[in-house]
Structure 1
Amino acid sequence: MADLICLGEPLFELNACQDGRFKGGFGGDVSNVAVAAARQGIDVALLARVGDDQFGEKLRGLWSREGVNHEHVLSASSEDTGLYFVFHDGDGHHFVYRRKGSAASRMLPEHIPDDAISNARMFYTSGISLGVSPELQSTTQQAIHAARQSGISIAFDPNLRTALWPLDMARQVTHDAMRRCNIVLPGLDDARQLTGLYSPEDIISFYHRLGAEIVALSLGADGVSVSNGQGIHTIPGVTVPAVDATGAGDCFNGIFLSAFLKNKDAVKSAELANRGAALSTTGFGAVDPIPYEKDLTEGNHFND
């Protein structure tokens, strides 16, 4: 039985380095979350679809090395694994995607075994999984329904990507999904666009009214505000020599969920995840810099 089962779109990453070369790596928000959680020592499984190609094989190699169960990740002979490129400049990092018609975008509800979700303790997915394609949207919605019917906890990051779909549609579909979720993990910029609200307090109240028991609102470099509905606790950001924030939010989510599954304490989980997400920005790529459990418990990488 998995502690955490994640559904979404795996991607192969090509990250631009300062010398003009590209460093190969791994991405896809849900895959990143799965790896981050597995590095904290919990049992993690993945529901996904990749191409029967070298990129898909490299992703499987990653999951095997990281201890992420990928027995329910299907290989498609007629579609490719999605790719994305990361470029960096003075304004931050920028993405270019090659995902249209990918294997993940054509994942259907029947690709998920009947007991895969019900045998887990928690289910995680994101707004990207809802926005990539109509097929993956339907699959994600049915998976959320299955998790709800099974009585397991559901965690969700709206992870807004306006390049995938119009904002009005994203707002409607995402909020409909979030009504069924126990834990929501939005970023501040995404939440402002989706809710039309500005202050973290108003946004957190909105998501509680939507049905969330726990809200962990990422404030980027300013830390995180977390609430269980009884009060908001804001954890300040930590100072690190950041070079690449790719996947930092995914890293936060994976560490938060793994810690919460262990201790059921949202504030302590957010404190740990806040530190881990900061540490993940000190290296390039979405996966390589994700810290392991021992890196966080040693606690000697930060200047608070």
Structure 2
Amino acid sequence: MTYDHQETGGPAGETPEVVTFGESMGLMMPTGAKGIEYSAAFEKSFAGAESNVAIGLARLGHRAGWFGHLGDDPLGRYTLKQIRGEGVDVSRARLVAGVPTGLIIREVVSGKSSVYYYRRHSAASLMRPEHLDEAYIAGAKLLHVTGITPALSETCRETVREAVRLARKHGVKVCFDPNLRLKLWSAAEARPFLLGLAEEADYFLPGLDELQLLYETDRFDDVIDRLRRLKAVSIVKGGGDRTYVVEGETVTEVPYFKAEKVVDTVGAGDGFCAGFIAGLLRRLPHAEAVRLGNLIGSMVVQAAGDWEGLPTWEQAQAAMNNERHVER
């Protein structure tokens, strides 16, 4: 296999405010109401938690960089062009010859969403610590990582660990979304690594259901008590109709924004992360940054697709201010 370094991305001389990395994959979905087995037509797109966050930040007016490995194949080239086209810096992304881009096929049947992954031995699973650009990470204000990348392979695990080490070395804040994927590894396998990353993070963004699995308890008070021991500001998603901000002994509740119509819940968490990080970059208080994250998440679920519903800053502001849409 060979590695082709892509010298592409954002405007020359502009360092991303936020750097993130991981696996982006080709995405196929049946175009109609039929499931995969009975559908003859599929819609092509791409998906990836980290690239979703980068696209969300770019649309909200921030400089975001995403890197990872894609196969030097039609899906890889398509995905790289799409991410670049959204204004994300992909100058450290690589197309790798001889190995495939991962693929995800998603269907919704009788209101239930099912996902099928084809990512074993993908280009992304071959990422290694030596592929990291220390100066690129050092130049950012914040590094965003998820628990998906370390689940791909042992070398990916080492790469995430090293990226966090480099960020801490250079005073770059670390934002960590555990994004636990039980189709990739079990809770028992994931627990020590993800909880270790939580101890290193400045911002920890788990879902309540993830915390119950990681901490092995259903008791809300026990979960909060564990979070209080972290140095991170913890943002707990999925707590009924509110998000919790745990900062030392203080717990703040931030209500959700009600979605007028839920079309597709996939990507809501990534939208939340993008909104929250945008709030941090705009120096909003943590509760206000969470409020912005809640808003972006509610907007994402009202559109189909993993990233297509991510709003621009102007659209987010209009929604925040309840501005009436003028059609013509």
Say yes or no: does 1:262 pair with 2:276. no
The CA distance in 1 between the partners of 2:220 and 2:46, in whole Å, is 31
CA contact (8 A) 1:204 1:215 kept: no
- How far the C-alpha of 1:19 sits from its partner, in A, is 4.2
C-alpha contact 1:2 1:43 (8 A) present in aligned 2 = yes
C-alpha contact 1:93 1:244 (8 A) present in aligned 2 = no
Give the stretch that moved more between structures: 187-196 or 115-124.
187-196
User: Distance between the aligned counterparts of 1:184 and 1:16, measured in 2?
Assistant: 35
The answer as to 2:29 corresponding to 1:15 is: yes
Q: Once structures 1 and 2 are overlaid, which stretch shifts more, 234-243 or 285-294?
A: 234-243
- Which residue matches 1:5? 19
Match in the other structure for 1:292:
312
Q: Does 1:233 align with 2:247?
A: no
Q: Does 1:182 align with 2:196?
A: no
Q: Which residue does 1:138 correspond to in 2?
A: 158
Partner of 2:176: 156
Q: Distance in 2 between matches of 1:106 and 1:301?
A: 47
Which residue type is aligned with residue 283 of structure 1? A
| 2:261 counterpart letter in structure 1 | P
CA distance in structure 1 between the aligned counterparts of 2:81 and 2:111, rounded to whole angstroms: 33
Partners of 2:244 and 2:162 lie apart in 1 by: 30
1:219 aligns with 2:231: no
User: How big is each residue's C-alpha offset from its partner over 1:172-227, in whole Å with a ceiling of 9 and x where there is no partner?
Assistant: 01111111100011111111111123344542432231331x11111177231123
2:94 alignment partner, one of 74, 79, 93: 74
* CA 1:200–1:236: 2 relative to 1, 3 Å: farther
On the 8 A contact 2:259/2:302 being kept in 1, the answer is no
Structure showing greater relative contact order (alpha-carbon pairs closer than 8 Å, 6 or more residues apart):
1
**C-alpha distance in 1, partners of 2:151/2:313?**
32
For residues 192 and 252 of structure 1, what CA distance do their matches in structure 2 show? 20
User: 1:25·1:287 contact (CA, 8 Å) conserved in 2?
Assistant: no
Query: Which TM-score applies when normalising by structure 2?
Result: 0.87
Which stretch of the first structure deviates more once superposed, 152-161 or 221-230? 221-230
Give the counterpart of 1:38 among 53, 58, 71: 58
User: What is residue 188 of structure 2 aligned with on the other side?
Assistant: 168
> Is structure 2 residue 112 aligned with structure 1 residue 92?
yes
Task: Give the letter aligned to residue 133 of structure 1.
Answer: S
Partner of residue 6, structure 2: none
Query: Could you say if the C-alpha distance between residues 269 and 73 of structure 1 is closer, same or farther in structure 2, counting changes exceeding 3 Å?
Result: same
Tell me how far apart the structure 2 counterparts of residues 120 and 36 of structure 1 sit (CA, whole Å). Answer: 17
Which ranges of structure 2 fall in alignment gaps of 5 or more residues? 1-14, 35-40
Partner residue of 1:61? 81
Distance in 1 between residues matched to 2:239 and 2:116, nearest whole Å: 22
Is the Cα contact below 8 Å between 1:81 and 1:102 reproduced in 2?
Answer: yes
1:249 aligns with 2:269: yes
What is the one-letter code of the residue matched to 2:201?
C
Secondary structure of 1:115's aligned partner: helix
Question: Which of 1 and 2 has greater Rg?
Answer: 2
- Supply the distance in 2 between the matched residues of 1:8 and 1:120 (Cα, whole angstroms): 17
Q: Which residue identity is paired with 1:252?
A: F
Q: Which moved more, 1:223-232 or 1:290-299?
A: 223-232
3-state SS of paired residue (2:200): coil
| 1:200/1:250 CA distance change after superposition, 3 Å | farther
Matched residue type, 2:122:
S
Q: CA RMSD in A?
A: 1.8
Give the TM-score normalised by the residue count of structure 1.
0.93
1:206 corresponding residue in structure 2: 226
